[in-house]
Amino acid sequence: MDLNPLLPNNGDITLITKISGTGSALPAKILTNADLAILVDTSDEWITSRTGIKERRIAVDGEYTSTFAVEAARQALSMAGILPEELDLIILGTVTPDFPFPSTACIIQKELGAHKAVAFDISAACSGFIYGLSIADSFIRSGRSKKALIIGSEVLSRVVDWNDRNTCILFGDGAGAVVVEASEDQSGIVSTHIFSDGTCWDLLYQPGSGSRNPAGIHATDPNLFFIRMEGNEVYKHAVRAMEEAAMAALNANGLTASDISLLIPHQANRRIIDAITKRLDLDADKVFINLHRYGNTSSASIPIALDEANRQGRIKPGDLLLLDAFGGGFTYGSALIRW
């Protein structure tokens, strides 16, 4: 599904969805590759050579998906100069909500004091932030929203099997957020492109806690509540899908990769990022990578990277950004943004 935000919404007025604030929040606890080597049969060299990850952040007792989401949101609101009560929409992308229900977005709404906002979660795995951005963009273009908050937040450490060296090395916790506003400026979201391929859902999923394997019946089998992944197959699909999503954004706008100022890809695996960089024929200095410090934070990875790039001065007014994601489902998507 490709969405063109340049359609008029009211008379001759064309509204653009502009990012006015970014934020991120990470746990203080750091888990290094050397720490993991104590838990499972692995090593820093083995993990680094296969994933590019050196360390990840891990939530401790009393820290939840909402904990990091609220902090990231506050940072984004502060940068945008917007009060929580001005928000009319809150969208959270997550696969690790505080509870099965209610939506963790409602908990965030309460903590922020954003009492005028509609709040809901979406479950699109690592593509959750792109999906949320696309939805918010549609709301703003249609005139149904003026100021929205989109968050990606995860505590994946609580659904990881710490005895499985193939998956426990990959994931980390954290949150990223953006505030978007209706604007008549020419800077903002140029287009979003979201896709799904449900034929491969069982290559990356969490079997337990849903209606198929409810906790009450299967409480004696904790393995059901851990992430399951066919790594090699996921890798092949991820590279193809992320290339497709990136090209969809470029082709829809008559652009080539050389027009991109910065690619911010989902931070899942360095080999995937390198493959996408090569397929798009991008220079390495046009790709933002923080995977080595945080691991795969699923829906949080792109907004965390976007916030870091923004605060580090890697993004300048007029720059053209390409966000590119892939996740379980399979879901994948991209967003083209004029800063």
Q: Which residues are catalytic?
A: 126, 266, 296
Question: Where is the domain boundary, 185, 206, 231?
Answer: 185
Collect contacts of 119-122 with beta carbons under 8 A, ≥24 apart. Answer: 119/89, 119/90, 119/91, 119/92, 120/90, 120/91, 120/92, 121/91, 121/92, 121/93, 121/94, 121/97, 122/91, 122/92, 122/93
Range of the domain at 238: 190-338
CATH number of the domain bearing residue 306? 3.40.47.10
My answer on whether 196 and 144 are in the same domain is no
Question: Where is the domain boundary, 131, 164, 185?
Answer: 185
My answer on whether 21 and 162 are in the same domain is yes
**pLDDT of res. 10:** 45
Question: Where is the domain boundary, 164, 185, 206?
Answer: 185
My answer on whether 204 and 293 are in the same domain is yes
**pLDDT of res. 12:** 55
My answer on whether 220 and 138 are in the same domain is no
**pLDDT of res. 194:** 98
My answer on whether 253 and 132 are in the same domain is no
My answer on whether 323 and 256 are in the same domain is yes
* Structural element, H or E, at residue 35: helix 33-39
The dihedral built from the CA positions of residue 7, 9, 12 and 18, taken in this order, carries a sign that is negative
My answer on whether 11 and 154 are in the same domain is yes
pLDDT truncated to tens, each residue of the chain (339 aa)? 655 543 444 455 688 999 999 999 999 999 999 999 999 999 999 999 999 999 999 999 999 999 999 999 999 999 999 999 999 999 999 999 999 999 999 999 999 999 999 999 999 999 999 999 999 999 999 999 999 999 999 999 999 999 999 999 999 999 999 999 999 988 999 999 999 999 999 999 999 888 888 877 666 787 889 999 999 999 999 999 999 999 999 999 999 999 999 999 999 999 999 999 999 999 999 999 999 999 999 999 999 999 999 999 999 999 999 999 999 999 999 999 999
My answer on whether 173 and 204 are in the same domain is no
My answer on whether 247 and 162 are in the same domain is no
Q: Any idea what DSSP says for residue 125?
A: G
* Whole-prediction pTM: 0.95
Encoded tokens for 286: 């046009």
Cβ neighbour number for residue 292 with a 10 Å cutoff: 15
3-state secondary structure of 147: strand
My answer on whether 179 and 265 are in the same domain is no
Q: How many domains does the chain have?
A: 2
My answer on whether 81 and 178 are in the same domain is yes
My answer on whether 113 and 18 are in the same domain is yes
**pLDDT of res. 80:** 98
**pLDDT of res. 6:** 38
End-to-end CA distance of the chain: 23
